[in-house]
């Protein structure tokens, strides 16, 4: 029994769960935009339609063993399927190692959030849309998660946590709306879609309002740097369309792994300096010291 309480063994279990959820995320990304059920029918080859037996459908491993080809007809299978499964596996393990030992419920909530987030970002990459079931559904999930587990909002009661989650979602949406309006005014073309606005609201309903001060600057920075790199690398024209959702998602994941500590430390220092220079006691000290 002792080994079951070993966080590294638990992380290996989280890795396997993450790989399986990643496999399901791949199915969702492929089927949801086509308005197909994500459950029925079971996995089948996208090229020839043959059903895929379970032993050829093992996350990460099957793609490697079959050398990136379908067992039925030999059609090439995009490496992205394997990468998503591997990425989700590492993310789940990392989430467990960071949050599991102190707050296992938060670790599970963040794992659910990251799964929806990844699916939404991949759909945005493929189709330039984020379906409402991820953005608005994500908001609802964030409100429920905060109410059931107030600790993710750093609150004690369900009502306080729900209120903060709701206020954070509204704050996230309004901030991005304001930026979108300014962008449209400056560049005379639509800079951002409503999908991104609703998506950030969903992220903030899980992560709280302070996360906006991390997610927006970071996603804009990474987005514009990568945009410029892509334009030169692919010799695309200025204005090559890049979806913004994946950058919001990436910044949200980085918030879970250090971003929150960094920003809370930053705002704590800002508040500290503010009170130092605005409190009358400091003024007196300055006067007494002859300044
Ligand atoms: Zn096939």
At 98-156, the pLDDT tens digits run: 999 999 999 999 999 999 999 999 999 999 999 999 999 999 999 999 999 999 999 99
In which band, very low, low, confident or very high, does the pLDDT at 291 lie, cut at 50, 70 and 90?
very low
What is the Å distance from ligand 1's center to 14 Cα? 31
Query: What is the pTM (predicted TM-score) of this model?
Result: 0.89
- Beta carbons of 46 and 55 less than 8 angstroms apart: no
Q: What percent of the chain has pLDDT over 70?
A: 91
Provide the 10 A C-beta neighbour count for residue 212.
20
| 23 has pLDDT over 50 | yes
Q: Which DSSP string corresponds to 109-159? A: HHHHHHHHHHHHHHHHHHHS---HHHHHHHHHHHHHHHHH-GGGGT-SSHH
Return the domain boundaries, the chain.
Answer: 1-97, 103-291
Residue 160: beta bridge partners?
none
pLDDT value, residue 284: 54
- Which burial class, exposed, middle or buried, applies to 151 when counting CB atoms under 10 A from its CB (0-12, 13-18, 19+)? middle
What is the Å distance from ligand 1's center to 49 Cα? 6
What is the Å distance from ligand 1's center to 155 Cα? 51
Q: Give residue 251's region: left, alpha or beta (phi > 0; psi -120 to 50).
A: alpha
What is the Å distance from ligand 1's center to 43 Cα? 11
Q: Which DSSP string corresponds to 147-194? A: HH-GGGGT-SSHHHHHHHHHHHHHHHHHHHHHHHHHHHHHHSS--S-H
Tens-place pLDDT, residues 147-174: 999 999 999 999 999 999 999 999 999 9
- Beta carbons of 93 and 14 less than 8 angstroms apart: yes
Mean residue pLDDT across the chain: 89
pLDDT value, residue 66: 93
């Amino acid at each position: 029994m002792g080994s079951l309480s070993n966080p590294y063994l638990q992380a290996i279990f989280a890795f396997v769960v993450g790989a399986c959820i990643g496999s399901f995320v791949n199915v969702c990304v492929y089927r949801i935009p086509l308005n197909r059920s994500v459950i029925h029918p079971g996995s089948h080859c996208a090229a020839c339609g043959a059903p895929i037996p379970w032993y050829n459908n093992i996350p990460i491993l099957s793609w490697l063993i079959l050398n990136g080809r379908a067992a039925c007809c030999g059609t090439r299978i995009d490496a992205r399927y394997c990468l998503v499964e591997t990425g989700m596996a590492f993310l789940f393990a990392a989430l467990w190692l960071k949050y599991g030992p102190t707050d296992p419920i938060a670790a599970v909530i963040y794992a659910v959030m990251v799964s929806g987030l990844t699916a939404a970002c991949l759909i945005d990459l493929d189709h330039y849309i984020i379906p409402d079931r991820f953005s608005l559904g994500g908001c609802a999930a964030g409100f429920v998660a905060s109410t059931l587990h107030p600790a993710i909002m750093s609150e004690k009661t369900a009502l306080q946590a729900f209120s903060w989650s709701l206020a954070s979602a509204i704050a996230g949406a309004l901030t991005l709306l304001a930026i979108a309006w300014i962008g449209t005014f400056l560049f005379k073309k639509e800079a951002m879609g409503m999908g991104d606005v609703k998506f950030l609201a969903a992220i903030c309903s899980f992560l709280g309002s302070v996360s906006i001060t991390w997610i927006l600057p970071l996603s804009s920075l990474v987005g514009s740097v990568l945009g410029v790199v892509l334009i030169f690398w692919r010799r695309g024209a200025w204005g090559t369309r890049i979806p913004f959702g994946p950058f919001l998602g990436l910044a949200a994941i980085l918030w879970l792994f250090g971003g929150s500590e960094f920003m809370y430390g930053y705002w704590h220092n800002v508040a500290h300096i503010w009170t130092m220079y605005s409190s009358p006691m400091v003024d007196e000290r300055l006067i007494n010291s002859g300044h």
